[in-house]
Structure 1
Amino acid sequence: MASGPEIGSSAPDFTLPGGVLSGDAFERRDHTLSSARGRSVVLAFYPGDNTAVCTKQLCSYSSGFEVFEGLDAEVWGISPQGVDSHEAFARAQGLRMPLLADTDREVARAYKVAAPGIGVRRSVFLIGPDGVLRWKHVALLGATFQSIDTLAAQLSGIKNA
């Protein structure tokens, strides 16, 4: 398996359709990584909406929203499902981060996390405010996920660098 973008290199830019739950509305729009410059971005690739581990992971990140905000970071969930699936998932779980639809897995391939059978490997990429990849974790099996504490510690290092 290829290792994907290297730490210290520019993160592959992309634009994906998605949406974010805001009150009762699910606001749909395109999200472009380079448009987030000036803030850190946590890219959380996950295999599927409404699956056990993915639900635990994204609910954990959503409940820790203030931690990420305090570190001047955004969290974007990325999976192969479409925006309609993401809307249903966000509404069912009360998720507060953008969920992006990588239906053709083009972005997953750019980050080298596309996987036969499961579609996408559970992985997290931390992009600094300058658009540079600062940290990554790609799971082999995907039965667990990186905790908020782990991500917060890594983001603190980025913010203080």
Structure 2
Amino acid sequence: MPIELGDLMPHFTALNTNGEKFDTKEYVGKKPLVIYFYPKDNTPGCTIQACGFRDQYQDFTDLGAEVIGISSDTVDSHDTFAKRYKLPFTLLSDPDKKIRKLFGVPSGLLGILPGRVTYVIDKQGKVVWMFDNSINARKHISKALEAIKKIVS
């Protein structure tokens, strides 16, 4: 079952760009999260999206939120991608697509590519906003920022 508005974010762990374990338990109850699933490192749309989050990362952190990107790429691929584009936020590796399945992220582009979905999770771990748009990667950033502003004001 896909996650819906009002649902609690499922607990998960994954490896970040440094090969260290990331655990959602370290964030729930402490800060809102922007979790975005994207198809692949170093592709045009995904690079636009990642750089958009990078360029507005300070706006998210000023509001107390953390940004997390997730794809099925390897830790090494994420590390290279993050360094190349100076990404200040966490990228998580989901090689077996367990986290993607946990959230119910649909496939995009005729089922060929993994989908592009962004979730905003409030401090208590509840999903308060979702945006599913595989085509317009740039739009995810401004819409996620609007959603964060609403829950922290």
Give me the TM-score of the superposition, normalised by structure 1: 0.87
Choose between structure 1 and 2: higher helix proportion: 2
Instruction: Structure 2: give runs of 5+ residues left out of the alignment.
Output: none
Partner letter of residue 136 of structure 1? M
Alignment equivalent of 1:150, drawn from 135, 143, 147: 143
Aligned to 2:112: 117
Q: 1:30 to 1:14 in 2, by over 3 A?
A: same
Q: Is the Cα–Cα contact under 8 Å of residues 49 and 141 in structure 2 kept in the other structure?
A: no
Matched, 1:61 2:53: yes
**Aligned pairs, how many?**
148
Q: Is the Cα–Cα contact under 8 Å of residues 131 and 140 in structure 2 kept in the other structure?
A: no
Deviations 1:39-78 (A, max 9, x none): 0110010000000000000011011111001110000000
Matched, 1:89 2:87: no
Aligned to 1:29: 20
Counterpart-to-counterpart distance in 1, 2:106 and 2:80: 23
Of all paired residues, the percent bearing the same amino acid is 28
Counterpart-to-counterpart distance in 2, 1:147 and 1:14: 22
Give me the TM-score of the superposition, normalised by structure 2: 0.91
Counterpart-to-counterpart distance in 2, 1:108 and 1:147: 17
Instruction: Structure 1: give runs of 5+ residues left out of the alignment.
Output: 20-26
Indicate the SS of the match to 1:28. coil
Aligned to 2:122: 128
Counterpart-to-counterpart distance in 2, 1:107 and 1:147: 19
Q: Which runs of 4+ in 1 moved over 6 A?
A: none
Counterpart-to-counterpart distance in 2, 1:123 and 1:6: 12
Q: Is the Cα–Cα contact under 8 Å of residues 13 and 23 in structure 2 kept in the other structure?
A: yes
Q: Is the Cα–Cα contact under 8 Å of residues 76 and 100 in structure 1 kept in the other structure?
A: yes
